[in-house]
Structure 1
Amino acid sequence: MSKLLEVKDLKVSFNTFNGEVQAVRGVSFDLNKGETIAIVGESGSGKSVTSNAIMQLLPKPHGYVKGGEILFEGEDLVKKSTSEMRKIRGKDISMVFQDPMTSLNPTMKIGTQIMEGLIKHQKMSKEHAKKRAIELLDLVGIPQPEVRMKQYPHQFSGGMRQRVVVAISLACNPKILIADEPTTALDVTIQAQILELMKDIQKKTESAIIFITHDLGVVANVADRVAVMYAGKVVEIGTTDDIFYNPKHPYTWGLLGSMPTLDSAEEELFAIPGSPPDMTNPPQGDAFAARNKFALEIDKVMEPPMFKVSDTHYAATWLLHEDAPKIEPPASVQLRMQGFANTGNKVGDQ
């Protein structure tokens, strides 16, 4: 598979009154054509900062890329000027944000907002752009698209506004779509519809997707691969099956164990103790050690490397060292792993 995007040892910091916040500390992953990679983790783990760095949407001058490369089709986006990035945003790489009301202009008609990108990036005539905008609204499931074109964002429900944002992001047939918590503000029924819509559109357009979320239940249904982030680092990465059937990092165990299931009423939900570290002064060693009941002495002094579990699966935990004690995931996590296995299907088919 051809690599569309390669993020290499990305470091992003913010200058604040309290000092330098090291939000992203050496993140690496790649993205292939037609693939969906999910980036998961708690709030503050660096997921959204990573996506904003790719789009060059960091708040300047306080936010900046401190090191690393973001290669899109072989060209480093970090080195692109603002004017060069404007030509890439929307055309080659698009983004769907969490809250559609902050993405849509309340003073502009929906049709005008969709047509804007088509006229600018695709050099379409106004008539051609209008026809394409109607097609896009129909594609994302908006009824009576000709009528809806003339309406304003406040005349749409939350789910329909998010569909409009998806339509705008797809207008120029981008090669990469970044979806940053696109369903968090929606109820579960609309959430499922938006996710199904994105999967369906991806099949038709062969676009690649970076899906950012804290919800592993969402990941199971949309992702080909999963990168688990904690304290600005990728601590585990693998296929969706790797992460759900064979998780290796204690943080991934915590995320899986805290997932509610149909049997949750009869079992105690696992909770990760403590809080993420202060990123103005990241801890020495493994950043997760203070919250990890399986932490070893070495975790407090030395950061673990990425250990290879398989050709597709890597995890940064000293528990994978050949001299480490053999520790199994907690019972709550094993129950979920067993539940996935008992379906007889792949995780994403559930």
Structure 2
Amino acid sequence: MVERILDVKNLKIDFHTYAGEVKAIRDVSFHLNKGETLAIVGESGSGKSVTTKSIMGLLANNARVIGGSIMYHGQDLLQKTEKEMQNIRGKDIAMIFQDPMTSLDPTMKIGQQIAEPLIKHKHMDKKKAWQQALEIMKLVGIQDAEQRINNYPHQFSGGMRQRIVIAIALVCYPEILIADEPTTALDVTIQAQILDLMKELQSKIETSIIFITHDLGVVAGMANRVAVMYAGEIIEYGTVDEIFFDPQHPYTWGLLNSMPTLSSTKLEAIPGTPPDLLDPPKGDPFAARNPYAMKIDAEKKPPFFKITDTHYAATWLLHPDAPKITPPAEIQRRWKIYAGMMKDKAK
């Protein structure tokens, strides 16, 4: 039986601004199973990072959780004090941020930075913690680790700094690892190495991963399940195969169509812009950008319609009385390309 280790239910988060209350996260629910990778995808500003920062208790000062729960081993993380969360961060739930240079302390040797969680959470003495830091440096592929453990962050390349950040996150063998676009700042070759490293380490320490990205190409090789976010809501979720080969929401179609391929002559964009979350629309938030929108999309928010036991989408196009819409031919062509990619990865 699959063990569910994290359960986010009906999460609502507002941001107080001079212009008013921004409804940043609007009734988000999802779960994470033991040992799996869940990808949360969507455009910038869709709420991906805010959602995961709420799990870590790292929301900005102007953020306010107005509803919902985040259950971890029967305890609601939203009810924890800051001191209690400090005992969870880094030990049970760890996070890899997007830019390693802003995550690392430029004044501290990297050995000290990797060893610090062990000293705090595992109460190791400095000598033993440094020894374990050395081992995790080797595990993440840092060459000449014995010499480089005394180096500072600026003495490493961008790819090596990201490996150091991963080492810090994994040194206590956390049960959950949140990766917030960890390869965005890296070139494609280093990106592939980091993604392969994360998959390898996941199998070794049996951690569960929440992977935040706007790049569906990354998702294809990393995730077991995918949640698609738009305007502070999850609008479709399913297994990686269901999202890639049988997407049901027009926004998901748009994301897939915007991915570059070797045969692409230009990058496709989704027309329009996301809604203003100071005053969210009462209907489907994607209606204004949806070429297949119906009258009801502007009037009433769609519920989740069940496609399979694991695949759901919030679009009125799945209503029995809705017209049957065929995804654009270009998207269907891309599905064939992805199918080939997935077969190659499986070999």
TM-score category by the smaller chain? over 0.9
Tell me, in whole angstroms, the C-alpha distance in 2 between the residues paired with 1:65 and 1:56.
11
Tell me, in whole angstroms, the C-alpha distance in 1 between the residues paired with 2:306 and 2:343.
22
Q: What is residue 221 of structure 1 aligned with on the other side?
A: 221
Q: Name the aligned partner's letter for residue 298 of structure 1.
A: I
What displacement does 1:126 show?
1.1
Matched, 1:104 2:104: yes
Tell me, in whole angstroms, the C-alpha distance in 2 between the residues paired with 1:211 and 1:197.
14
- Does the 8 A contact of 2:220 with 2:342 survive in 1? no
Matched, 1:330 2:324: no
Tell me, in whole angstroms, the C-alpha distance in 1 between the residues paired with 2:243 and 2:204.
27
Amino-acid identity (%): 64
- Does the 8 A contact of 2:228 with 2:237 survive in 1? yes
Q: What is residue 13 of structure 2 aligned with on the other side?
A: 12
Q: What is residue 180 of structure 1 aligned with on the other side?
A: 180
Tell me, in whole angstroms, the C-alpha distance in 1 between the residues paired with 2:176 and 2:87.
14
Please show how residues 264-279 of structure 1 align to structure 2 within 5 Å: 264-265=264-265, 269-279=267-277
- Does the 8 A contact of 1:13 with 1:64 survive in 2? yes
Q: What is residue 294 of structure 1 aligned with on the other side?
A: 292
Provide, for residues 68-114 of structure 1, a one-character-per-residue CA deviation record: whole Å limited to 9, x for no partner. 00001111000000000000000000000000011000000000001
Equivalent position SS for 1:68? strand
Q: Normalised by the size of structure 2, how large is the TM-score?
A: 0.98
Structure 1, unaligned stretches of length 5 or more?
Answer: none
Tell me, in whole angstroms, the C-alpha distance in 1 between the residues paired with 2:275 and 2:330.
25
Q: What is residue 284 of structure 1 aligned with on the other side?
A: 282
Structure 2, unaligned stretches of length 5 or more?
Answer: none
Q: Name the aligned partner's letter for residue 211 of structure 1.
A: F
Tell me, in whole angstroms, the C-alpha distance in 2 between the residues paired with 1:304 and 1:82.
37
Equivalent position SS for 1:264? coil
Q: What is residue 22 of structure 1 aligned with on the other side?
A: 23
What displacement does 1:348 show?
5.7
Measured at CA, do residues 54 and 20 of structure 1 come closer, stay the same or move farther in structure 2, by a change above 3 Å?
A: same
- Does the 8 A contact of 1:269 with 1:332 survive in 2? no
Q: What is residue 2 of structure 1 aligned with on the other side?
A: 3
Tell me, in whole angstroms, the C-alpha distance in 2 between the residues paired with 1:228 and 1:113.
34
Q: What is residue 209 of structure 1 aligned with on the other side?
A: 209
Tell me, in whole angstroms, the C-alpha distance in 2 between the residues paired with 1:120 and 1:269.
47
Tell me, in whole angstroms, the C-alpha distance in 2 between the residues paired with 1:50 and 1:251.
20
Tell me, in whole angstroms, the C-alpha distance in 1 between the residues paired with 2:93 and 2:18.
33
Equivalent position SS for 2:83? helix
- Does the 8 A contact of 2:221 with 2:342 survive in 1? no
Q: What is residue 41 of structure 1 aligned with on the other side?
A: 42
Tell me, in whole angstroms, the C-alpha distance in 1 between the residues paired with 2:189 and 2:178.
22
- Does the 8 A contact of 1:110 with 1:153 survive in 2? yes
What displacement does 1:335 show?
0.8
Q: Name the aligned partner's letter for residue 19 of structure 1.
A: G
Q: Following TM superposition, where does structure 1 have runs of at least 4 consecutive aligned residues deviating by more than 6 angstroms?
A: none
Task: Supply the RMSD in Å over aligned alpha carbons.
Answer: 1.2
Equivalent position SS for 2:127? helix
Equivalent position SS for 2:234? strand
Tell me, in whole angstroms, the C-alpha distance in 2 between the residues paired with 1:228 and 1:347.
25
Tell me, in whole angstroms, the C-alpha distance in 2 between the residues paired with 1:347 and 1:27.
34
Q: What is residue 191 of structure 1 aligned with on the other side?
A: 191
Measured at CA, do residues 310 and 347 of structure 1 come closer, stay the same or move farther in structure 2, by a change above 3 Å?
A: farther
Q: What is residue 52 of structure 1 aligned with on the other side?
A: 53
Tell me, in whole angstroms, the C-alpha distance in 1 between the residues paired with 2:207 and 2:73.
14
What displacement does 1:344 show?
8.5
Matched, 1:154 2:154: yes
Q: What is residue 304 of structure 1 aligned with on the other side?
A: 302
Equivalent position SS for 1:54? helix
Tell me, in whole angstroms, the C-alpha distance in 1 between the residues paired with 2:52 and 2:36.
16
Equivalent position SS for 1:319? helix
Equivalent position SS for 1:326? coil
Measured at CA, do residues 344 and 176 of structure 1 come closer, stay the same or move farther in structure 2, by a change above 3 Å?
A: closer
Tell me, in whole angstroms, the C-alpha distance in 1 between the residues paired with 2:87 and 2:20.
34
Tell me, in whole angstroms, the C-alpha distance in 2 between the residues paired with 1:349 and 1:275.
37
Tell me, in whole angstroms, the C-alpha distance in 2 between the residues paired with 1:302 and 1:180.
32
What displacement does 1:269 show?
4.1
What displacement does 1:146 show?
1.1
Tell me, in whole angstroms, the C-alpha distance in 2 between the residues paired with 1:293 and 1:349.
35
Q: Name the aligned partner's letter for residue 10 of structure 2.
A: D
What displacement does 1:346 show?
4.9
Tell me, in whole angstroms, the C-alpha distance in 2 between the residues paired with 1:184 and 1:15.
28
Q: What is residue 316 of structure 2 aligned with on the other side?
A: 318
Tell me, in whole angstroms, the C-alpha distance in 2 between the residues paired with 1:22 and 1:171.
36
Tell me, in whole angstroms, the C-alpha distance in 1 between the residues paired with 2:293 and 2:191.
37
- The size of the alignment, in residue pairs, is 346
